[in-house]
A and B are shown apart, each in its own frame.
Chain A
Amino acid sequence: MPERLDLMRWSLRLGAVPVAGFRSSRRHVESTVGSRARLVVLLGVVLAATIAANMAAFGFYDSILGSLFDPDGPFGERQRAALTAIFVSSSCIVSSAIALLIAMIVPPHSRIALSARIAGASRSLIAVGEFLPTAALIAIVVIASSGASTAVIASHQQFPVITTVSLVAIASAFGIVALIVRDAVVIGAGLLKWSDTASRSVGMLVAILVTGAMIVDIGTGALQQRTSVVARCLVWLWSGRSAPTTFVDAAASIAVLLALVALACLTAAGGGLQQPLQVGWRVLAARAVGRPSAFINFVIREALLYIRHPVTAVSLISMAVLMAAGVAAARTGLIPAEAIVIFFAILCAAGAETAHGRTRRVR
């Protein structure tokens, strides 16, 4: 009976921080969106769009690429491995980008760490507890965003379920890596007494650069008919097979994942070191642009304030880098030009979201 009581106490202790963290984050997002009703509508639309997009993408991938995976088709073993590697790497990159976006919408400062510490919770318990909702969110969004490609790959593997689970786990792990890179840089910059804004901006930039390097790695790997470094690491981890089929391989994958989660817990403890979105620096008075009409004055001033906002600056720089990579990919024929146009539209939409966020009062 005492053991049962202890177990209950531990489950209560382990569950308290994640539940409170989830509630707090949910309300933060609600206040960002405007209300709970709006959030529900938004999530409904996103869910419907995600299902539709995944169904369409699955049909597209399966009809175009299905035959390429056929062992009796024109592609050899090496080409099929390269194709698989591109799919896997793309999932990892998308999840990294998603993780960074999630990091921008979740509360920038921990809302519960201090209260939990006062109540006697250890730092590690708080770190793990606060990170779990974020990790779960990353996993959910990764599944939603890469469901179609994962399903296509899995349907052509010997063990579809293991392939699906491991792909989602590895893609989620890459998302966590992006957060670790960002938080590690932020903490390092903090130790160097940089300002919060500078630390966060540099952290985001480094994480984006790491992701960019992975894109370049995939692009050059595909052009040179070799697999990317990421894919080679995975292939090495999986002992040359396209999915972990032995207990040791699966255990190794899980160990890597857990190590990454532990690292993330250490670096993301207490919700990271970001600052909430704030008003841009008001360095430009309306009179500095002469005496045009009030409307033009307003537009110029707001545009300049938008550009000078730290988050916008990071967003614009990353947009420029990614657009350059996109143009290069389109010119080399690696990615169809139509797909690049859609990609640019998404990037611009992200910038617009930042503008919207800058003008909102976020609690």
Chain B
Amino acid sequence: MRKACFPVLEIDSLRKSYGAREVLDSVSMSVPMGSVTGLLGPNGSGKSTLLHIVVGLIKATSGRVTFGDLPASDSAVRRAIGFCPDDLPLPELLTAREYLTLIEGIRGMRSNEVAIDYMSSGLRIAAHLDALVGTYSHGMKRKLQLIAALLHRPTLLILDEPFRGLDPESGAIMRTLVTRYAAEGNAVLISTHDLALAGRLCRNVVVLQDGQVRASGELAHVVGTHADLESSFLAYTGLDVEAEDAADEFFAGLEVLEGA
């Protein structure tokens, strides 16, 4: 088992605004080691923005992100984080092997062909390593990004919508990987819409809506008296009422059709 270099990711009073538009509003949360933490929220709730701030792709308006005692902008922290983005473009004119060599080079590592072969074989893309990334399907790109994110054995693995668009086999492989990586003593933070999956994978969850944390803590604590994670998520976000209203409107339309 690997010894963790940093105890935990801490996000404190994080704000991000674009002009008058507040995307994140005083977000505070933490990610413990040795477990999977789920970042849940509807579209536009600020999940990806939050993750991009943590990995240093964008700057926060105010607030602090620390990993152990170090700020997230510290180069040692950057080396301890692996990030698998959602829908950010890959270098399509490089082969997968060249792309992984680029990532290793940027991290100051020599290319480790054996490790790459094992990892790509495990994710069922070994036969396509010398093909251009531009020819990859969505699922293959996700797998390639996962390998790139794990090549330096990060202490914190961040995955943005990792299961979106994956076929059942790939989804199962990805779930197993995530669980085992966390069990090795690393921290894993995933953002996902799949509440059933989050309920199975995550020990801790953070519910984000309109840039604010609606609930956070251990899964059992967040679910509370609700039947399951989905019910509690809808209650925390107020989307249960919205869902009822939307259904009422839709059926009103159907009734109009029947009357016509």
Interfacial residues, chain A to chain B (CB-CB below 8 A): 8-10, 12-13, 15-17, 19-20, 23-24, 27-28, 31, 107, 111-112, 114-121, 125, 363
Contact = CB atoms under 8 A, between A and B. Distances in A.
Interface string B104-115: 111111100000
Contact of A115 (B75, B99, B109): B99
A118 B102 contact: no
B132 A119 contact: no
B136 to A, nearest CB: 14
A10 to B, nearest CB: 7
Contacts of B79: 120
A119 B107 contact: yes
Contacts of A24: 91, 93-94
Contacts of B89: 111, 114
B98 A20 contact: yes
A118 to B, nearest CB: 5
Given A28-B93, A118-B57, A120-B79, A112 B102 contact: yes
Interface in B123-146: 132, 134
10 contacts: A16-B101, A16-B102, A20-B94, A20-B102, A111-B92, A111-B93, A117-B56, A118-B57, A118-B83, A363-B93
A84 B110 CA distance: 49
B78 A120 contact: yes
A185 to B, nearest CB: 25
B55 interface: yes
Question: Of residues B89, B90, B102, B104, which shows the largest number of chain A Cβ atoms within 10 Å of its Cβ?
Answer: B102
What size tier do the contact residues of chain B reach? 20 to 34
Given A13-B108, A20-B98, A118 B55 contact: yes
Interface string B55-83: 11100000000000000000100110101
Contacts of B75: 120
Contact of B98 (A23, A28, A117, A119): A23
B83 A20 contact: no
Contact of B148 (A9, A17, A119): A119
A17 B91 contact: no
A119 B103 contact: yes
A23 B108 contact: no
Contacts of A16: 101-102, 104-106
A19 B81 CA distance: 24
A20 B103 CA distance: 10
Contacts of A363: 92-93, 134
